[in-house]
Amino acid sequence: MAEKGEGYILHSAEHMFARSLQNLGIDIKVIKADTFREDGKGFLLLQGKIPLAKLYEAEINVNSVIPKNLKTTIETFDDINEATKCYPNLRFNEERLKETKNIRLVKIGEFDVCACKNKHVENTSEIEVFVIVGLSYLGGDTEIEFKAGRDAINYLILNNNDILELGQQNNFSAREIKKNYNKIQKNLNQTDQELAKVFRLFIKNSEIKFIEVGDISLSGFYKSLNEVVAANQEKSIILLSNHQLVAVKGTKNTSDFKTIGDRLRERKAFLGDVRDDYINGKILDYSEAKIVLAELSSLII
Ligand SMILES: [Zn+2]
């Protein structure tokens, strides 16, 4: 974590990042910049969705400018028109500056010029490294979390160590993490598909009505459940995992799903959809859910 008062490293880095995006032809609009937080995190909220590739390109650019040892200088102007006449590429927030005279410009070498009242580094070398550590496109805007200085270096080292360790355990080199992750993901998908096939065969040919499946997602089983019940309308199946419950029954099955679902909700074991022929939702209390299902086992037909 950056020491309190070191937010100006993050703030200068943020200016450089904004300029780097502008240099890539992106018309940025800063909704919020937050670089003086107690927890040492830097945040930048930009209007619209800026593609990941552009953010990475700008990040690389900032890190290529940092070691150029650019000095920051301050210039003041009586008003914004005068300032923009002198610096046509000046970046400023129109809403915030509307009524402001005495414009203070922060220049980072010849690389960036921006209207700003905050404290900055004297020299870009103080920033050391700039790294994006979080990204969100929630709500259609681009929120970037970033680190600079020692914090950024520590972050990169810790991350690299994690990747090295994973590589060691799973026999791949650190630079191949993406390739290997994708391979593992592909294998997992195939396993899920195979598992769904086995599951379909099992429920089709078995009289079991209640199945506990441990700590896995049930979404891969929906299709199989519906197919088997569609083919045999006398069937009912309840699937329970640590965090989800799914129950499906055919039109000729007389299980009382309504009572079961309502009781599970009453006992605060479950939250979700309850219909005559279908229950689907989140398990809030796994052991309580099992107790309720055991108590009402005579309603499962
Ligand atoms: Zn600023």
Domains of the chain: 7-149 (3.30.980.10), 196-299 (3.10.310.30)
Task: Tell me which of 21-35, 114-128, 144-158, 201-215 is least confident.
Answer: 201-215
Distance 124 CA to ligand 1 centre (A): 14
> How far, in Å, from the CA of 289 to the mean position of ligand 1?
54
d(CA 41, CA 147): 6
Residue 89 CA, chain-centre distance (Å), reads 33
Query: Distance, CA 178 to ligand 1 centroid (Å)?
Result: 36
Give 172 Cα–ligand 1 centroid separation in angstroms. Answer: 43
Strands 142-148 and 210-212: unpaired
Q: What is the pLDDT of residues 65-109, one digit of tens each?
A: 999 999 999 999 998 889 999 999 999 877 666 666 789 999 999
In tens, the pLDDT along 173-228 reads 988 999 999 999 999 999 988 988 999 999 999 999 999 988 888 888 888 999 99
CA of 146 to the centre of ligand 1 (A): 15
